[in-house]
Amino acid sequence: MSTPRPRSTQALSALLLFAAVFFAAVNLRSGISSLGAVLGDALEAFGAGGSLAGVITAIPGLFFSLLGLLAVPLATRLGLSRTLFIGMALSLLGLAARPWVGDVWAFIVLTVSVTVGIALANVLLPAWIKNHGGRHIVALMTVYGSVLGISGAAGPLTALLSDDFRWALFLWAIPAALQVVVWFFVVLRVGRDVPTSTSPRAAGEQGGVVKQVSLWRSPTAVFLMLFFGLQSMHAYIQMGWLPKIYVDHGVPASTASLALALVGSFNIVGGLIMPVIIDRLRSIVWLPVLFSALMGAGYVGLWLAPAASPMLWASLLGVGGFCFPTAIALIPARSRVPLVTARLSGFVQPVGYVIAAVGPLVVGVVRESTGDWSLILPVLAAICVLMGAVGFRAARNVYIDDELAAQA
């Protein structure tokens, strides 16, 4: 039986395309970053030990990895839009119910529910944009990256709007509900939109090759996976632990929350400029090196003088966080056809998020055993050197489709 072809991308108006990407991106970080700012209050309310903080902060990376492995097979069976919609509904359920439970393990299960929807969107949204974006692909990736940055930056700010951590978390159920409504209409319009293996630029024999050759045989895919994993590890360590680092060094909690929001706000700038830069420049290999060096400098500042200039260190970490929109933009930019984009996203993110999951968990264990940050921060700065090296190789101007075809 032949695979049903997706309906014409013209079924989606430009308005619905941009609305779908906008609301998906709004919800891609807020459900996680909002928790970091109130994690201490939540654990205290449940009477839970500090060791559970490491478990909770490791959930995003762990389930992003697990769901990343399942995302492409699910999308191939159900369609990109239907799979995304199901995940978004699960996120809404978790965001709406999580704040009101009375048991820490129920809280953790609902945090997993939130994460499942975000994980599916992390993997499949770039492929969805590649499949439906047409001439709007670069603009949609710009919306995706910049609004995702807004999501990460705004998440912690709800802690400043309410003294009750429950309301600070529940507020994010509102954009999640709007997301579900918008994507309901997307599903009605496009039906079962499986990712395709052909395009005007890459058809015929090469389209078949991309289904057969392992992405482990593409050097660019492997280095992009490592780059994505290392930058994600830093991102989730910062989302989960940066306020705690500041507070442990005597910085007021309000300043710590603002610092985390500042880090996230730089992702807005990165999301706005990186897709365009990657699309237009012939060589961007020096950018991951620069961003990694700035992030490393931010960790050194936190290590040597954390309370002296907290916003400066947050700014350096934030500019260093341009590694994230760079890695995300490279997924469609280094692939020709939607199927390779989906496979690449499903390869880069699951393995990458294993690295991301380990980071916050190890930080929690080391912090609890040593009682301070004197070992953790210089090690994080050293890891930035490695991140710059693999990012240099991942950013080479080659198409992964071509590497796969050469290995066939």
Q: Is the pLDDT of residue 73 over 50?
A: yes
Q: What is the per-residue pLDDT for 71?
A: 84
Query: Is residue 221 domain-resident?
Result: yes
Q: Is the pLDDT of residue 308 over 50?
A: yes
Q: Is the pLDDT of residue 36 over 80?
A: no
Dihedral, CA of residue 15, residue 16, residue 22 and residue 27, to nearest 10? 160
Q: What is the per-residue pLDDT for 390?
A: 95
**Domain limits at 327?**
14-195+204-407
Over residues 351-388, the pLDDT tens digits come to 777 777 788 888 888 888 888 898 999 999 999 999 99
Cα(69)–Cα(299) distance, integer angstroms:
32
CA-based torsion, 59, 223, 276, 263: positive or negative: positive
Q: How confident is residue 408, by pLDDT bands cut at 50, 70 and 90?
A: low
Residue by residue, DSSP assigns 66-97 as HHHHHHHHHHHHH-HHHHHHHHHHHHHHHHHH
Task: Tell me the pLDDT of the chain averaged across its residues.
Answer: 84
Q: Is the pLDDT of residue 47 over 90?
A: no
Cα(361)–Cα(341) distance, integer angstroms:
30
- CB neighbours of 219 closer than 8 A, spacing ≥ 6? 393, 403
Mean pLDDT computed over 153-165: 75
Over residues 226-275, the pLDDT tens digits come to 999 999 899 878 877 888 899 888 888 888 888 887 887 787 788 788 87
- Where helices occur in 155-252 by DSSP H, the ranges are 158-161, 165-170, 173-190, 205-209, 219-248
Mean pLDDT computed over 78-85: 93
Query: Is residue 334 domain-resident?
Result: yes
Q: Is the pLDDT of residue 85 over 70?
A: yes
Q: Is the pLDDT of residue 96 over 90?
A: yes
Query: Is residue 92 domain-resident?
Result: yes
| Percent of the chain whose predicted confidence (pLDDT) is above 70 | 91
CATH at residue 136: 1.20.1250.20
Number of domains in the chain: 1
Q: Choose the weakest-confidence range: 147-151, 205-209, 223-227, 398-402.
A: 205-209
Q: Is the pLDDT of residue 80 over 70?
A: yes
Record the tokens describing residue 134, joined without a space: 């047409």
Q: Is the pLDDT of residue 82 over 90?
A: yes
Q: What is the per-residue pLDDT for 6?
A: 43
- Per the CB < 8 A criterion, the answer to whether 116 and 67 are in contact is yes
Query: Is residue 177 domain-resident?
Result: yes
Q: Is the pLDDT of residue 87 over 80?
A: yes
Query: Is residue 6 domain-resident?
Result: no
Where is pLDDT greater, at 156 or 12? 12
Residue by residue, DSSP assigns 265-329 as HHHHHHHHHHHHHHHH-S--THHHHHHHHHHHHHHHHHHH-TTT-HHHHHHHHHHHTTHHHHHHH
Query: Is residue 2 domain-resident?
Result: no
Query: Is residue 8 domain-resident?
Result: no
Cα(257)–Cα(158) distance, integer angstroms:
10
Cα(90)–Cα(31) distance, integer angstroms:
12
Query: Is residue 9 domain-resident?
Result: no
Q: What is the per-residue pLDDT for 340?
A: 84
**38 sits in which H/E element:** helix 30-46
Q: How confident is residue 201, by pLDDT bands cut at 50, 70 and 90?
A: very low
